[in-house]
Chains A and B, each alone.
Chain A
Amino acid sequence: MRISAGATLALALLTAAPPAFAGGEDVVVEDAWSRASIGTSRPGAAYMTLRNTGDEPVVVTGLSTDLAMMPMIHATATDEQGVSRMTHMEELEIPAGEVVALAPGGLHLMLMDLQRPMVEGESFSLTVDFSDGESISVEVPIRGMAARGPAD
């Protein structure tokens, strides 16, 4: 039996499970976290692990949150001269049965045009859209500005 994303989310919320929500067909989001911001003028960053439990590749095609007008996936690339730059990923494919980690130093969610400050201890809701039309909602906890991982 396949449970809808909404039902799964509701069930997860009801049972107060750790922040892991199945949906978007077969994608599970784990260890979502973000860093607190100073005010709203600087972009925020968020991280998570996307696990594709299905037999087909899944493509993330969009993000939305009321926290930021322009949430986007960025990759940090460092060239041979040690210069780091970020590239915007329009889409992110998660191969069948694989895990894509958005973690400091690599892929991350960049939250541009913050609508409110990101305050440590609070959280925000993020919707991830997939190419098959499914989408899942994730509650992303906000850690300290110097946090290095979901448990900080």
Chain B
Amino acid sequence: MQRRRFLIYGVAGIGAIAATLGIGWWQVDGPGADAQVGKRPLPLSEMSFRLTDHEGKPVGPQTLLGRASLIFFGFTYCPEVCPTTLSDISVWLDWLGEDATDLNVVLITVDPERDTVEALAEYVGYFHPAIRGWTGTTLQVDQATRDFRVRYEKMPMEGGGYTMNHTSGVFLFDADGRHVSIIDYHEPREFALPKIRRAMDEETKGAT
């Protein structure tokens, strides 16, 4: 009896290990592979995504070269993180004054299902005029998130609908497309401006 129980546990144990390894494979190498963890975005020059901006124009990484860029991922059905980030960015841009015109500022949606060109156009219109909204097909957005090493997942909500969990930092690139730094969501706001200035200074260095 004792031995038999041991055997049962043994089989169950092997099953559990096999299942764990299976899940492990799925997460590490399989379809659930998450190559983005802990990685920095690619340089813009090595990215390959193609998207559409909120005016319906085709855009891609090349659109961003030549000026420093501030890129972040979000979605317009986001009640908290995205409006907060957008209003923070609007303030930084106000602080920059006329220099803000030397920056690309782009919100890339992680929710292309709901964030059509029209929905994005209306949404970004409520924030600083320099802010652009980019969307595309699900496959196109997936490519952009891979290029930027951004993680996102769709989460069903109680009471229907869904929300998106997503990387919430703001990526800074210099004019040559090199990734310079990230402004984290919870970072004190006064740290942001020096980082943006630094990304813009890299631009001058690159130009001379």
Interface residues in chain A, defined as those with a beta carbon under 8 Å from any beta carbon in chain B: 35-36, 38, 41-45, 69-70, 74, 76, 78, 81-86, 88, 104-105, 108, 110-113, 144-148
B185 engages A78 (CB within 8 Å): yes
Output the least CB separation between B169 and chain A (Å).
5
Interface residues in chain B, defined as those with a beta carbon under 8 Å from any beta carbon in chain A: 36-38, 76-77, 79-81, 83-84, 86-88, 90-91, 122-123, 126-128, 151-152, 155, 157-159, 161, 163, 165-169, 182, 184-186
A82 engages B182 (CB within 8 Å): yes
| Residues in B whose Cβ lies below 8 Å from that of A83 | 151-152, 165-168
Q: How far, in angstroms, from A88 to B156 measured CA to CA in the complex?
A: 13
Q: How far, in angstroms, from A112 to B79 measured CA to CA in the complex?
A: 9
B79 engages A45 (CB within 8 Å): yes
Describe B's contact surface by its main secondary structure. Answer: loop
Q: How far, in angstroms, from A112 to B167 measured CA to CA in the complex?
A: 23
Residue of B79, B91, B159 near A42 (CB, 8 A) is B79
9 A-B residue pairs with Cβ-Cβ distance under 8 Å, sorted by A, are A38-B76, A81-B167, A82-B167, A82-B169, A83-B168, A84-B166, A84-B185, A88-B158, A110-B80
Q: How far, in angstroms, from A7 to B58 measured CA to CA in the complex?
A: 60
Q: How far, in angstroms, from A23 to B126 measured CA to CA in the complex?
A: 36
| Residues in A whose Cβ lies below 8 Å from that of B158 | 88
A146 engages B83 (CB within 8 Å): yes
A147 engages B163 (CB within 8 Å): no
Name which residue of chain B comes closest to A106, CB basis. B186
* Residue among B38, B79, B84 with max Cβ neighbours from chain A (10 Å): B79
Residue of A82, A110, A146 near B126 (CB, 8 A) is A146
A85 engages B79 (CB within 8 Å): no
B81 engages A84 (CB within 8 Å): yes
B80 engages A81 (CB within 8 Å): no
* Residue among B84, B90, B168 with max Cβ neighbours from chain A (10 Å): B84
Name which residue of chain B comes closest to A46, CB basis. B79
| Residues in A whose Cβ lies below 8 Å from that of B126 | 36, 38, 144-146
